[in-house]
Amino acid sequence: MKITLIGSGNVAWLLGKALQQAGHDIVAVYSPTAAHREALAQVLPPAKAVDSLDLRATGAELFVIAVPDAAIASVAAAVRVPDGAIVVHTSGSQPLAALQGIAGARPGVFYPLQTFSKSKPVDFSTTPILIEAEDEQTLQALQALASTISKEVHQVDSLKRRQLHLAAVFACNFTNHLLGISRQLLQQAALPDTLLQPLIQETIAKAMQNHPFLVQTGPAVRHDQNVIEEHLRLLQDQPLYQQVYQLLTQSIQDHSQKR
Amino acid sequence: MKITLIGSGNVAWLLGKALQQAGHDIVAVYSPTAAHREALAQVLPPAKAVDSLDLRATGAELFVIAVPDAAIASVAAAVRVPDGAIVVHTSGSQPLAALQGIAGARPGVFYPLQTFSKSKPVDFSTTPILIEAEDEQTLQALQALASTISKEVHQVDSLKRRQLHLAAVFACNFTNHLLGISRQLLQQAALPDTLLQPLIQETIAKAMQNHPFLVQTGPAVRHDQNVIEEHLRLLQDQPLYQQVYQLLTQSIQDHSQKR
Ligand SMILES: NC(=O)c1ccc[n+]([C@@H]2O[C@H](COP(=O)([O-])OP(=O)(O)OC[C@H]3O[C@@H](n4cnc5c(N)ncnc54)[C@H](OP(=O)(O)O)[C@@H]3O)[C@@H](O)[C@H]2O)c1
Ligand SMILES: NC(=O)c1ccc[n+]([C@@H]2O[C@H](COP(=O)([O-])OP(=O)(O)OC[C@H]3O[C@@H](n4cnc5c(N)ncnc54)[C@H](OP(=O)(O)O)[C@@H]3O)[C@@H](O)[C@H]2O)c1
């Protein structure tokens, strides 16, 4: 497929490379900052850096909007594409409707479910790609495209993508925060930062192989009130962490009772 | 070293094998259930299965108490060992003082910081071993022993071990629960259980390479109030999860403000 990239950040950079490696033609790169669009165009030859959102002359059939979520609406309002072109965004949290009103375009979503940093290569073949479109023909075009870079392509509508995003907040954002609290507690005790890493890795591996609720361990699920009270005492100068400890203990216990 | 194991569960089984492979002699195995002590003694030849806690005749210099935390006190009260023998427990949550009052014994802690299941082999060489004792000579004996199976040996006193345990509750027990909630939310949305696994793995890998607070992502740290409110609406039938969402969001925001 002939593809134009809108944006030159983490996603444009890595997805652009993956699409090119799969044999697609990246014909143009638009991005507000000249140095950024030129740098990306240079690594994706023969892509041209372009400085206008009127992209009708780029010769592309597909336009990938990979800009911050908050900028998608303004790009959608300003962009011009040839009649019948497919225009997708790459966001997990924005609905398909965010691309309504691009004249002549067939809107779609092409969401790679992974966290990207320009500097770190990604294995796209195992990265789930979630696609959505208004009509069957567009959906099939996106399915065919996604299948050239990933073995895991799913059709997921906007409501389900929102539920998925909520699940990701628990599994990734909140989990990361707990790992941060844990690291801080190790530092407060003058223990090495890395001490818990083998245990964390094993915990995650177990939670992947089983339903996490079935392999829950620790004082909460054992209703070990002595240990729980001692832990709350150790947290007495950190009232917010104390509240987090209490609420998660309650949630674990609530869950184990229901089983 | 000549070693007697007390208990024949997950830790006795895996630690016993690791110690034997490192060249130590497991001379005897005590455990209340005959079938269990015999099964373990059989895989650790020439270890004998013994049915009494009077272990003075086993010929061991070191006795490893690997029984449930709640049973350590009763084993310590009943066990008989030769004068000057080292007796350790393997618990992360029990103090050294739990072994006070074993006549003639030098008490110690030998805590392998990992989660064990009898059926799953463990790489002891990367498993931190936390040791504690009352006197320098015992400490050195435990240090030497631990070094024969692991590259990561740390002297950690009972208070610090308690703080470590608290940190592990956040990093492992609570994290596992959040992964369970996330899995449940995927199921409620009829999405595949495994969809988030690549993202989770990458999130954990990032949190290991950096301080997690510095790589925090998601609607909380972005103060994206629209998304937060939408997520709370999606959770309206699960009030406890709603509370968890609110409190962790608050904790993340509290933290990012302090930076
Ligand atoms: N990063 C991830 O892990 C990830 C994963 C999956 C999906 N996504 C989604 O992918 C999209 C892009 O994310 P990203 O991480 O690649 O973002 P990013 O690295 O911040 O890059 C954003 C790009 O958008 C451009 N841009 C910023 N404001 C703009 C505006 N008002 N109009 C036009 N262009 C604008 C920037 O241009 P200049 O550099 O030229 O100034 C930049 O090249 C978002 O929808 C995000 O939710 C991200
Ligand atoms: N499992 C882990 O991941 C892990 C990790 C680090 C440290 N630890 C610590 O290691 C210790 C043992 O844990 P584990 O997982 O190996 O336990 P486990 O698998 O439940 O095994 C406990 C063993 O203790 C014996 N036992 C039970 N009650 C007893 C009593 N009243 N008197 C004497 N023996 C008794 C049992 O004997 P029978 O089978 O013969 O009935 C069993 O062999 C605990 O202190 C734990 O905190 C465990």
- For residue A184, what is the domain's CATH number? 1.10.1040.20
Of B165, B176, B247, the CB nearest to A247: B247
A114 lies in the same domain as A200: no
The structure's pTM equals 0.91
Of A103, A121, A156, the position where a domain reaches its end is: A156
Stretch B76-98: mean pLDDT, rounded?
96
More confident residue, B128 or B259: B128
Q: Tokens for B216?
A: 């925090």
**What pLDDT, on the 0 to 100 scale, is given for residue A207?**
96
**What pLDDT, on the 0 to 100 scale, is given for residue A257?**
76
B212, closest residue in chain A (CA to CA): A180
Of A100, A129, A156, the position where a domain reaches its end is: A156
CATH, residue B121 = 3.40.50.720
**Cis check: omega of the bond before A46, within 30 degrees of 0:** yes
Q: Percent of chain A, pLDDT > 90?
A: 94
The interface predicted TM-score of the complex, written ipTM, equals 0.91
Query: Which ligand 2 atom is the nearest neighbour of the CA of B37?
Result: 40
A187 lies in the same domain as A102: no
**What pLDDT, on the 0 to 100 scale, is given for residue B118?**
86
**What pLDDT, on the 0 to 100 scale, is given for residue A249?**
98
| Residue A71 predicted with pLDDT over 80 | yes
Contacts of B220 in chain A (CB under 8 A): 169, 173, 177
Determine which of B125, B130, B199, B232 to mutate to test the interface with A (most A C-beta atoms within 10 Å): B199
Residues B23-40 pLDDT 10s: 999 999 999 999 999 999
B231 lies in the same domain as B107: no
| Residue A259 predicted with pLDDT over 70 | no
A71 lies in the same domain as A187: no
Q: Tell me how far the alpha carbon of residue A11 lies from the centroid of ligand 1, in angstroms.
A: 7
A91 lies in the same domain as A217: no
Q: Which of the ligands is closest to the CA of residue A222?
A: 2
**What pLDDT, on the 0 to 100 scale, is given for residue B44?**
98
Q: Tell me how far the alpha carbon of residue A64 lies from the centroid of ligand 1, in angstroms.
A: 11
Of B132, B156, B180, the position where a domain reaches its end is: B156
The answer, yes or no, to whether any atom of ligand 2 lies below 6 A from the CB of B68, is: yes
Q: Which of the residue ranges A52-61, B45-54, B118-127 would you say has the lowest mean pLDDT?
A: B118-127
Stretch A93-105: mean pLDDT, rounded?
94
Q: Read off the pLDDT band of B259 (50, 70, 90).
A: low
**What pLDDT, on the 0 to 100 scale, is given for residue A197?**
97
| Residue A140 predicted with pLDDT over 80 | yes
Stretch A184-205: mean pLDDT, rounded?
96
| Residue A186 predicted with pLDDT over 90 | yes
B233 lies in the same domain as B252: yes
Domain tally for chain B? 2
Domain with A194 in it: 162-258
The dihedral sign for the CA sequence B167, A232, A225, B185: negative
Stretch A240-256: mean pLDDT, rounded?
96
Of A113, A160, A211, the CB nearest to B183: A211
B120 lies in the same domain as B170: no
The answer, yes or no, to whether any atom of ligand 1 lies below 6 A from the CB of A138, is: no
Stretch B84-109: mean pLDDT, rounded?
96
B116 lies in the same domain as B21: yes
| Phi, then psi, of B154 in degrees rounded to 5 | -130, 140
B90 lies in the same domain as B208: no
Please report which helix (H) or strand (E) contains residue A91, including its range.
Answer: none
Q: Tokens for A161?
A: 């993508």
| Residue B201 predicted with pLDDT over 80 | yes
CA torsion B170-B163-B66-B12 (nearest 10°) is 60
| Residue A120 predicted with pLDDT over 90 | no
**What pLDDT, on the 0 to 100 scale, is given for residue A93?**
87
A82 lies in the same domain as A103: yes
The answer, yes or no, to whether any atom of ligand 2 lies below 6 A from the CB of B9, is: yes
Stretch B184-193: mean pLDDT, rounded?
97
Residues B44-59 pLDDT 10s: 999 999 999 999 999 9
B103 lies in the same domain as B31: yes
A192 lies in the same domain as A133: no
**What pLDDT, on the 0 to 100 scale, is given for residue B117?**
86
